[in-house]
Amino acid sequence: IQQIQTEAAVWVKLDHPRILKFLGIYTVDETIYLVSPFAENGSLPSYLENFPQADRGRLVVEIAEGLAYLHPFEPGIIHGDVKGNNVLIPSDHRPRLCDFGLARHVDARTATSLKGAGSVPWQSPEVLRDEASKSFQTDVYAFGITIYEAGCGRIPYFDYPSIGSMIAGVLFAGVRPPMEPASAPNDISYSRIWAEAARCWSDDPAERPSMVDVL
């Protein structure tokens, strides 16, 4: 119940075209549900499977717009679990960020944020090393991995035999998802944004751009 209350407390404050709207809370047989509009086209991965000719560059930019709205919010909001499955596409074919279960306000006085959780392939090196909490910079890193996901239509590091080997590659060999010409679209707008991915997934959090700078 506490987690649902926390998610609702963050989500209810948000009002932006790139953020899925919060409609309310519904309880059935002591089970609590958070209610939002139905997204007819599902999550980003399923959308791209059904609409392979979609303008992926536009999708990526609009996801960035959602994050650029969250981060400067007062107080700032860390999403904490940016990935394709947390981007929903309604009938208008425009992306909405969803799933604020890991989202937290940042306390400007203490710079507190959240530890752990999230989806491993999208987690930054400093989080994988357990050296840092989730932050605006870790959201930016996850966005960079999502650029790959949007462009190539693959789960990042899909070819690694295990999560452990993937983590070792990221931490000790600096591995990042490669752009794959065979599966990436010949899309000028996407090719332009691809250059941002390398900045976003820099090993050094200080070298990553802000989401406002990405735009």
In a domain, 9, yes or no: no
- pLDDT band (50, 70, 90) for residue 106: low
Mean pLDDT score of the chain, rounded to an integer? 86
CA distance 173 to 150: 24
- Catalytic (active-site) positions: 81
- Within a domain: residue 50? yes
What CATH number does residue 188 fall under? 1.10.510.10
Q: How many CA atoms lie within 13 A of 181 on its CB side?
A: 0
Q: What is the pLDDT of residue 108?
A: 43
Between 107 and 50, residue with greater pLDDT: 50
- Asked whether the predicted pLDDT for residue 181 surpasses 70, the reply is no
How is residue 178 annotated by DSSP?
A: P
39-40-43-45 Cα dihedral, nearest 10 degrees? -160
Q: Is 21 contained in some domain?
A: no
Pairing of strands 96-97, 31-35: unpaired
Average pLDDT of span 160-187: 82
Asked if residue 141 belongs to a domain, the reply is yes
Q: Domain range holding 82?
A: 39-214
146 in a structural domain: yes
Residue at 72 is within a domain: yes
Helix or strand (DSSP H, E) at 194: helix 188-200
Number of domains in the chain: 1
E strand spans, the chain: 24-28, 31-35, 77-78, 87-88, 96-97, 104-105
pLDDT at 111 over 50: no
Rounded to whole angstroms, how far apart are CA atoms 151 and 115?
Answer: 29
**In a domain? residue 11:** no
The pTM of this model reads 0.88
Predicted confidence band at 13 (pLDDT cuts at 50, 70, 90)?
confident
Would you say residue 24 lies in a domain?
no
Q: Residue 138, Cα to own-chain centre: how many angstroms? A: 10
SS3 content of the chain, % helix, strand, coil (to 5): 40, 10, 50
